[in-house]
């Protein structure tokens, strides 16, 4: 029984719904539909920031995500990927961070593969990078969102401190662009491996849209 | 700069977005619309539980809440209210707890006033209560949801341990029914005052729909 006279002693016991996670596609609930994610207004990047751990770019844009409108607020990168699908990391994971009017967060994660073709916007971000500086930029990344996104939908957390929970994740496994090894190497040269270890699922529902 | 080799030392630093909160209606963002909350399928209660701190009833039902479908899963009570509006507690706060497919939680809180008329379903719950027992019941509380709900919308936490954050709150200030002092006294006699203290808003956006 709770003691309402000793509320200060209540442990908040967080940490059961953390991100990233490892996803086995044969053991999660499967839905025959794309992830309900639609860019409404172009994602335009305005500022590029060296935060010491990765490159973070802030900007603007809007999207409809599972029936609600969110603002796109920033994008950043992890190499190798933080989320793991069927035991495999992708070389790069791009986090498109969205927020709504009351502050709810949705992160759209793009698990990007290596290919012969470099991604031109990512190359602009690399070329424009200025160590320990924040600089202005003007870049449209709308076409990073796939027209038929498939992947996982689950409830987790930020993957860097404060590790806040209640963050909704769309982990997209079919980006329509590739990056080159040179592009991924650039991130690892500058920041090392900056992926958080996968966290226990602890009975959460993970839905697979495909 | 984060040390990815010492992830175990990262503090999760939770506790900045807790519930309940104290709301001043003249200092929050105001929208001229009702809260976007619609019961789709009747809320039917099936089990009544004495959890030592309050009465909790589990059941089923569905609602559309800000454009997304949620299942109604349980209702419980706090006396006096946990949320405070313009410095005032209500004698009773009813929490209608909803969950969606990936486990997101929305609590619809009804701030109920005293009146001459007792609420018949609440009286059934009181009459049916069996100390330290879980019993079956069949009760429809669909009409507890107002047809034009007004009040606050914000992002907070559970108000009892584990105090998990990422919980969406609709705090409704205009329930269309009242409860009697005898009904409220019954709760306080059985459980004492079981309202958590209000928590700092910490810069969160609180939207007032009216």
> What is the share, in percent, of chain A residues with pLDDT greater than 90?
90
Q: Is the pLDDT of residue B48 over 70?
A: yes
Residues of B in contact with A167 (CB under 8 A): 166
Interface of A with B in 164-183 (CB under 8 A): 164-168
Kindly report the nearest CA distance between residue B11 and chain A, in angstroms: 7
Neighbouring CB atoms inside 10 A of A107's CB total 20
Cβ distance of B162 and A53 shorter than 8 Å: no
Beta bridge pairs of residue B187: none
Where residue A66 falls among pLDDT bands split at 50, 70, 90? very high
By C-alpha distance, the chain A residue nearest B31 is: A101
Distance CA B195, CA B146 (A): 23
Give the pLDDT mean for A98-103: 96
Cβ distance of A163 and B206 shorter than 8 Å: no
Residues of A in contact with B155 (CB under 8 A): 102-104, 166
Enter the pTM of the model.
0.92
Where residue A3 falls among pLDDT bands split at 50, 70, 90? confident
Residue B13 has what pLDDT? 65
Instruction: Tell which CATH architecture fits domain B15-209.
Output: Roll (3.10)
Q: pLDDT tens digits for A6-51?
A: 888 887 766 889 999 999 999 999 999 999 999 999 999 999 999 9
| Nearest CB to A4; choose among B16, B194, B206 | B194
**How many interchain CB pairs under 8 A, A with B?**
128
Neighbouring CB atoms inside 10 A of A39's CB total 20
> What is the share, in percent, of chain B residues with pLDDT greater than 70?
99
Residues of A in contact with B40 (CB under 8 A): none
Distance CA B95, CA B106 (A): 10
Residue A83 has what pLDDT? 98
Cβ distance of A163 and B13 shorter than 8 Å: yes
Query: Strand B68-78 vs strand B92-99: parallel, antiparallel, or unpaired?
Result: antiparallel
Q: Which of A90, A95, A63 is nearest to A77 (CA)?
A: A95
Beta bridge pairs of residue B153: B170, B207
Residues of A in contact with B10 (CB under 8 A): 160-161, 163
Give the pLDDT mean for B25-34: 94
| Nearest CB to B166; choose among A11, A166, A192 | A166
Residue A182 has what pLDDT? 98
Residue B168 has what pLDDT? 98
| Nearest CB to B4; choose among A153, A165, A194 | A194
Residues of B in contact with A67 (CB under 8 A): 67-68
Q: Is the pLDDT of residue B186 over 80?
A: yes
């Amino acid at each position: 029984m709770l003691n309402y006279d000793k509320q200060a002693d209540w442990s908040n016991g967080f940490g059961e719904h953390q991100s990233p996670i490892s996803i086995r596609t044969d053991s999660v609930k499967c839905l025959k539909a794309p992830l309900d994610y639609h860019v409404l207004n172009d994602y335009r990047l305005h500022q590029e920031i060296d935060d010491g751990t990765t490159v973070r770019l802030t900007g603007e844009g809007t999207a409809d995500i599972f029936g609600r409108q969110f603002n796109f607020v920033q994008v950043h990168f992890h190499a190798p990927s933080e989320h793991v699908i069927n035991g495999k990391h992708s070389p790069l994971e791009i986090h498109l961070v969205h927020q709504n009017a009351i502050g709810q967060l949705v992160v759209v994660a793009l698990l990007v593969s290596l290919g012969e073709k470099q991604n031109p916007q990512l190359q602009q971000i690399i070329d424009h990078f200025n160590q320990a500086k924040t600089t202005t930029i003007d870049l449209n990344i709308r076409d990073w969102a796939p027209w038929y996104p498939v992947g996982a939908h689950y409830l987790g957390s930020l993957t860097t401190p404060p590790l806040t929970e209640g963050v909704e994740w769309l982990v997209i496994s079919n980006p329509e662009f590739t990056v080159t090894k040179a592009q991924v190497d650039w991130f690892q040269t500058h920041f090392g491996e900056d992926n958080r270890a996968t966290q226990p699922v602890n009975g959460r529902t993970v839905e697979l849209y495909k």
